[in-house]
Amino acid sequence: MKLNNTKIVILSLFIVGLVLYFTSFKGPFLWDDYQLVVENQYIKDWHFIGNILTQDLFKGSGEGSNWYRPLVGVSYAIDYSVWGLNSVGYHLINLLLHISSSIFLYLLTLRLVRLKTFAFLASLIFLIHPVPTEAVSYISGRTDLLMVFFILLSILLLMKSLEISSNKSRKLCLIFSYSSYVFALLSKETAVIFPVLLFLYLYAYSREKQTYKYSLTTTLQKLWPYLALSALYIVSRLTVFNFYNVLMVSKDNFVYGAGIFGRFLMFLKALFIYYANLILPLNLHYRMETSFPITGLDIHVIFSGLILVAFIAASVFFWRRKPIVSFAILWFFFALIPVSGIIIPINFIVGIRWLYLAMIGPIIGLAVLLADAYSKPKTNKYLKAFVLALIGCYLVFLAVLTVNRNDKWSKPAVFFEEMVRFYPADGRLHNLLGIELIKTDPQRGISEFEIAAKLKPDFATPYFNLGEYYKNRKEFDQAIGYYQRAIATDKNFIIAYTAIASIYAQQKEYDSAVNWLYRLLEIIPDSWKVYSQIGDVYYLDGDLSKARDAWLKGLSLDPKNQIIWGKLKKIGP
């Protein structure tokens, strides 16, 4: 079948995507989803749109981060307006973004290949490969989905501007292309590498298609608006939207006390994992970690370093001889630079979802090389058939792995049991497994919490979760006891204070509730949220004067806080 009809290709990609990711719709909110969606007050009321656009991603749940990704927050707000807290809708949007990016990839590859079938093959590999499951099946993975969606759309619109004769239409395409890049930046910081990736694509396009004449001057003329947007973003990110010192490098920040060379060694070791999972993703799991290489004599570092040197040499050698090879190699490595951890701190060293952008270059490169080989009349037809059969088997292999990964993402208990098998000494993972098990098997859940506390003695969360379990059973004395153990383990464990206050308020012991909240103020004296909660307790006790005073104090700390304004309206002037 000749895939000349773009509509058939698009329909095929939609069908394949829905079949492969259907099980992901069953997945509940998981891990960061609770902070970003379930507990995020900003996405539940459009009055907070200003907060979403000016504050960090986690602020709506009362927590803090240095992630300025307002478009992600806006997308969740739209989701909440449509689906409420039905996780199926959020999963559907994630999948539609992934399928759309696959379509964009098809259209971009189509501009480079001689046979359209191989453009379809590129989009199929991208759609079917299990690496993106971490971004697609995990609601919080939307950051990567939005970033890649808008990066590919931006390239596509720029290419469209080069192909049309109407001056008005060309300018319109360019405006939308620039806007798409801005949206990519507002989705994830990694998008700042986009001008480099765009340069690589333009160079490959100029050598594969003669319709665009490459020169450094003309290409820079195309790139300067994107470079200007990148510079503006970097400056604003380091100043106005620098919530927790984005460039902070300290000895307490993961591996950042090891120096530039040590972090480079760590990146080489991470690269080994990326190589393996891009080709044979047999051992995928979330938060793939690895031991820190003490020296460059680590076998994985040596092997990965040799591959890196070979790839760099190949990209130089083929720059003019076969530019698509250089494009594939350089896109892969440049896309990983922002998450390499060499200079800018990242939350962990190996993130399989970071391959989502990086894998695009090698996939396009493979499609172009195969199309070139198949377009040559001298290529043996039996060899062609054999290679196509191998590719078909590989696609089936990837599809099976993807369905399997999606099934695990849809079952949190299974997901965390797998994680615990990989990292049995990780107390945090035992705690997360306990959260899931306690819903269906309380004894096993309690046991996992106890293991978590034993493995990590300074870890207060398992005690808090035990308190939550007994609170839900209305065994309030035991619940308060575990909350207090959490505080004894970590006096700054804020939610334990509010949990105790909540129980006392529920039992109408309002003085005790207020006392615990004032104890919390000793730790976070500038928290509008605590003053808001103190006002709530006084309101329940019928003391409207003290309720107003507490809310006004909270308002003095955050004058634009719509939550407190709403409470004040209830009691009038």
Q: pLDDT tens digits, residue range 253-292?
A: 445 555 777 778 888 888 988 998 999 998 887 766 655 5
Contact 85, 37 (CB under 8 A): yes
Round to whole Å and give the CA distance between 272 and 503: 51
Mean local confidence (pLDDT), 197-210:
82
* Range in 61-65, 113-117, 118-122, 556-560 the model is least confident about: 61-65
Contact 483, 467 (CB under 8 A): yes
Identify the top-confidence range among 344-348, 489-493, 501-505, 559-563. 501-505
What is the pLDDT, as a whole number, of residue 252? 47
Q: Is residue 49 predicted with pLDDT exceeding 80? A: yes
Residue 233: Cβ within 10 Å count: 19
Mean local confidence (pLDDT), 146-174:
93
| C-alpha dihedral sign at 6, 11, 14, 17 | negative
| C-alpha dihedral sign at 532, 533, 535, 536 | positive
Contact 144, 97 (CB under 8 A): no
Higher pLDDT: 392 or 346? It is 392
Find how far residue 46's CA is from the centre of its chain: 24
Task: Kindly state the DSSP code that residue 292 receives in the 8-state scheme.
Answer: P
What is the pLDDT, as a whole number, of residue 137? 94
Q: Model pTM?
A: 0.85
